[in-house]
Structure 1
Amino acid sequence: MPSTLAAAEPFTPEEARALDPYFGNTDSPVFVLTNLPEAVKGALFARYSRSAKSARRLFLDEFLGDVAPAGAPTGAGPGGERAERLYTKVFNEYGDDSVAQLGGAHIACEGVSNVLTKVLERGRLMSYLEQSTRYVPYTQRPGGQWKYVVPGEIEDPDDRALYVATLDRAFETYARWIEPLQAHYRIQFPRAPGDSEGVHRAAIRAKALDTLRGLLPAATRSNVGIYGSGQAYEALLLRMRAHPLAESREVADLMLPELRKVIPAFVQRVDRDDRGVAWSRYLEERNRRARAVAGGTDRDTEWRRHLDPPASGASDAEVALTEFDPDGEARVVAALLYAGSGLPYAQLLAAARAMPAEERVGIIRAGVGARANRRQRPGRAFEQTAYTFDVLSDYGAFRDLQRHRMLTIEWQDLTPQHGFAPPDPAVDATGARSDWHAVMEASAALSERLARRYSAVVAQYAVAMAYRIRFQMRMNAREAMHVIELRTSPQGHPAYRRVSRRMHEQIAEQAGHTAIAEAMRFIGRDDVDLERLAAEKASERKRLAQAPAAAPGADG
């Protein structure tokens, strides 16, 4: 078959040598950019959009003389200064904010509270990895201190002493019960003949840590790795600088100079009085006003008089489908037909509404195809209908579900008012019940004191992760498929597996979207004793497959 590729642009030997450190090749129309500052890459592509020249020719003609030698520092110093000057020139003359989408950075935020991790992980167009309470036991005491944040807002010495004493007891209780829980689970779930000792040990430990994580407060320190574009970081920093928590503002002040070492031009507006500072002031005032209205403390609102009494049990439901489109499956059918039909959407929607249910189901099944695993998902036609769920789950499950980004999620403050999720039966079986309840009671008392004396936002630090938090998730059917299938997989935590299964049930039964629910073929429906066992076995198989073969005569 004849090639469709464009002919390679010719370069002289001297030009090819100049390009070699910065481009993956000089003889193909497809190439990667290497060894260039992020701002230079963004500026080059911005210029690219307004020139008839190729990227490599533009680089030779307009950029090469301003770039530090390959291997030289590309942030601070001469390379960074050149990059910033190039970006500013192109931004002002050719581009707009989208230029800041073309460069990115990795940043680590270590030892931040679990309250702050939710602020850091709010942006949709960023990637995050967070330290897991499942794999990392919180038993170390660096500098003699348990791993939790003491918020700077707590200035009263008596309040501070009570806070430290309460959280110390919570961590001591958590650490004391890890081994008894592991011993209990080793008896309850003995190692199968085909499982290695290492696999079984890892699964048992994960089970014990999963059970006990509810004792840890939201102040527990965590490490978060973030990757994002310059534009995404600018938005994140503006939000953090406007946040009511001192920890958020303090960490933002540390992030900005670090980001300026690698993407200085992309965050230059963050602390300018007429740009970022003004924007953060707007966000701060907007959020303050919204909280005042919602809390009933704003004199301009009397909205609570319109509230109806809640239906019996409705406010305590773990998962409630509060909004959906009864016409949703017809919209998906119309969207599936749209690309290949040559007809307007309105005409297709009318036809989808008129056709028998079994015919709609057949079209949806055809659009889904023969999925072999959960990573194979239908196309964007499934984005034509959406679901809104009101969820009341423990904070640990919320932490995992909140990291899904291609949806809309809002959450309320973490408080003790909704009670705590009942612990695993192993807590009773090992005699830890009284200790568990003591931690919960002390957590609630401290949180209520901090809310009175400081604010509900600060009081969150004291609340144990077993307490429930209310949050709302709105997602289209395609994202619902991803969330539900991923979060019901056998290795998942029981709390969010249960939430996700109920979401699936309500899509099928309450919304009546049976064809969409049927398309979610990889729902984990069975309860699993050792959630991490299968995953640990799979990891071991991969490690063994990748390990080099032992040399002849080597010890086993």
Structure 2
Amino acid sequence: MDRRAASPYARDESLRRIFAVLGIPPEELAYTMAAYSRSKRSFLETNAFITGQKAADFLETFYFAYGHRSIADMAHVPFAIENVSILAAIEIVAESLWDGQERSTRYQDFSVTGYLVPDEIVGSDVEALYIETADALFEAYEKVSQAAYRHYLATVPKPEGMEQKDYERTLRARAFDVGRYLLPLATHTSVGQITSARTLEKQISRLLSSPFGEVRRVGEALRDAGRSPARSPRDERALTLVEQLASSENAAIASALKEALAPAAAAPTLVKYTAPDRYRLETQEALRRVYEGLLGQVPVGITEPVSLVEVDDPAVEAVAKLLYGVGRHPFSQIVLHVQTLTRPEIRELLELAFEKRGPHDEWLAEFRTGYLNFDIVMDIGSYRDLHRHRRCHQLRQAWTTRLGYEEPDVVRAAGVQETYREAMARAFQAAQHIDEAVPPLGAYLLPLGTRCRALFSMDLAELAYIAELRTRPTGHFSYRRVAYDMYRKTVERYPDFAPFVRVVDPDYEDLTER
């Protein structure tokens, strides 16, 4: 007896179907997936009953009214974000669940890209100073990049078997690595991203909460783009053909095709209620007052470029992170101060952090505790590279001139040290002046060589990943040193792991390796 044939439940593998899906608008796709989980119909049968309006009605009910937020994880929306400043791009990509790419300072000549003049600067008393300073930085960028390229051509032998054009292209990229130190945060760049609608919703709310007008306007533009008809190059080409059909005897078919190909909005319902993150804004303002009361008059301590800080008490760690994000002191110094507080005082600060939390607000990210905490002082360019690592929690203090700037050794070797230093000094002076006149917009003139302070929290596996990837000779010499110091601090504390992390000492350098 064939037990399988006799069973009302048994099925063989011939029924299995696996296929990719393209061309369904994100909100309709999210609705299809959600309905699919509640239906015996196949995916394609389920989707056949769905329209944009049905999807919107469904999401209004289950996503917003009932809080089934996982539905938005199934609506993935690609965005092209073009001609924004590097400052804005750093804020755009600051999501842990984010996929995308930004223009590379290594493989593109940014002298042709130009820079942003924010709306708040246009027509102001400091517009001329802003433009003169940014122009000077770009002129210095070109001069230093060209000098570094000539220096490398004269000092780095071409490897045997390497094509001349590949050799020159590689050294030109290495020269841009040096020149990038002079690019201001105002430099124009572009970002391509793909996120779930849930991440997009959080991203827009965070951008709308920024102290920078440009960043807030980017948030508004993302929200508008999510609600407007999306660009579909493939469909646009097809519509051109439909227009050609419309004048013929196939007009009825052309009309039906045109309707089917009409552009759909990417996520009109899911981005409709995005707004500034009031919980974070109000909590940060309260924490700033607390920070100034506790540490405002305490001298800022001096630390090594990379410090590993471990905290046994999660409450102490969380409070220290809350204060770090609005402060200027090293993390270790803040931790020591928090450890002197009584338990009632710590509880009072925790209550302050939750006081403004609304019914749909998640815990603040500062409560992600129990990790390796690296307090790092590095140039903005290196921060921009390490900032792309997603499997770690990051806190950055405000942009400032107080920490000074980095100067690559090759600047002196290439004979452009004076040019470099003059450009940096001029930018710092102008940034401070503009910050006084139109705060905080002086930050746009800070070159990528400016130092910043940031806290990176991660587990051992992520530390090993960053150390192995970022110490390779193909990487930028600045973040190679930072990643190696992170590794060194970790294995000093946990030597058992040292043999298993495949790092390359940053003193080893091969400028022709790609």
Shorter-chain TM band = 0.7 to 0.9
Query: Is 1:445 aligned to residue 412 of structure 2?
Result: no
Q: 1:495 to 1:325 in 2, by over 3 A?
A: farther
The match for 1:346 is none
CA distance in 1, matches of 2:67, 2:167: 56
Q: What's the CA shift for 1:247? A: 0.3
- From 105, 125, 130, the counterpart of 2:97: 125
CA distance in 1, matches of 2:185, 2:74: 35
Q: What's the CA shift for 1:135? A: 0.7
| SS of alignment partner, residue 164 of structure 1 | helix
The match for 1:70 is none
Alignment of 1:71-470 (within 5 A): 80-88=52-60, 91=63, 96-140=68-112, 147-154=114-121, 157-260=124-227, 261=229, 264=265, 266=267, 268=269, 270-272=271-273, 276-277=274-275, 280-294=277-291, 296=292, 301-304=293-296, 307=298, 310=301, 315-323=302-310, 386-424=371-409, 426-455=410-439, 457-470=440-453
CA distance in 2, matches of 1:400, 1:309: 26
| SS of alignment partner, residue 49 of structure 2 | helix
Q: 1:83 to 1:444 in 2, by over 3 A?
A: same
Q: 1:400 to 1:226 in 2, by over 3 A?
A: same
250-259 vs 468-477, which deviates more?
250-259
CA distance in 2, matches of 1:284, 1:117: 20
1:111-163 Cα distance to aligned partner (Å, 9 max, x none): 1111111110111111121111111111216xxxxx11112223564311001
CA distance in 2, matches of 1:252, 1:384: 29
- From 501, 519, 524, the counterpart of 2:500: 519
1:397-430 Cα distance to aligned partner (Å, 9 max, x none): 0100111111111011222211111222x32233
The match for 2:343 is none
| SS of alignment partner, residue 534 of structure 1 | coil
Aligned length: 419
| TM-score normalised by L of structure 2 | 0.75
Q: 1:217 to 1:34 in 2, by over 3 A?
A: closer
Q: What's the CA shift for 1:66? A: 3.4
CA distance in 2, matches of 1:131, 1:309: 35
| SS of alignment partner, residue 224 of structure 1 | strand
| Amino acid across the alignment from 1:106 | P
The match for 2:48 is 64
Q: 1:101 to 1:162 in 2, by over 3 A?
A: same
Unaligned runs of 5+ in 1: 11-26, 68-79, 142-146, 327-382, 536-556
Q: What's the CA shift for 1:464? A: 1.3
CA distance in 1, matches of 2:393, 2:33: 31
Q: 1:293 to 1:137 in 2, by over 3 A?
A: farther
Contact 1:207 1:530 in 2 (8 A): no
CA distance in 2, matches of 1:291, 1:92: 32
CA distance in 2, matches of 1:42, 1:194: 52
CA distance in 2, matches of 1:266, 1:459: 35
The match for 1:42 is 30
Contact 2:379 2:448 in 1 (8 A): yes
The match for 1:483 is 466
RMSD: 2.9
Contact 1:101 1:229 in 2 (8 A): yes
Q: 1:113 to 1:250 in 2, by over 3 A?
A: same
Using the aligned pairs only, state the percent identity.
27
CA distance in 2, matches of 1:93, 1:468: 45
The match for 1:32 is 20
Contact 2:226 2:266 in 1 (8 A): no
| SS of alignment partner, residue 393 of structure 1 | strand
Q: What's the CA shift for 1:184? A: 1.3
| SS of alignment partner, residue 422 of structure 1 | coil
| TM-score normalised by L of structure 1 | 0.69
| SS of alignment partner, residue 157 of structure 2 | coil
The match for 2:355 is none
CA distance in 1, matches of 2:126, 2:83: 22
Q: 1:34 to 1:107 in 2, by over 3 A?
A: closer
| SS of alignment partner, residue 378 of structure 2 | strand
176-185 vs 478-487, which deviates more?
176-185
Contact 1:325 1:386 in 2 (8 A): no
Contact 2:147 2:416 in 1 (8 A): no
Contact 1:413 1:460 in 2 (8 A): no
| Amino acid across the alignment from 2:105 | T
| SS of alignment partner, residue 66 of structure 1 | coil
1:518-539 Cα distance to aligned partner (Å, 9 max, x none): 221x2112534444x322xxxx
- From 474, 482, 506, the counterpart of 2:489: 506
CA distance in 2, matches of 1:233, 1:398: 23
CA distance in 2, matches of 1:528, 1:220: 31
CA distance in 2, matches of 1:214, 1:449: 21
CA distance in 2, matches of 1:157, 1:45: 51
Unaligned runs of 5+ in 2: 231-263, 314-367
1:35-66 Cα distance to aligned partner (Å, 9 max, x none): 32222221122223334x1543xx52x54133
Q: 1:316 to 1:385 in 2, by over 3 A?
A: closer
CA distance in 1, matches of 2:432, 2:67: 51
Contact 2:72 2:198 in 1 (8 A): yes
| SS of alignment partner, residue 127 of structure 2 | helix
CA distance in 2, matches of 1:207, 1:323: 36
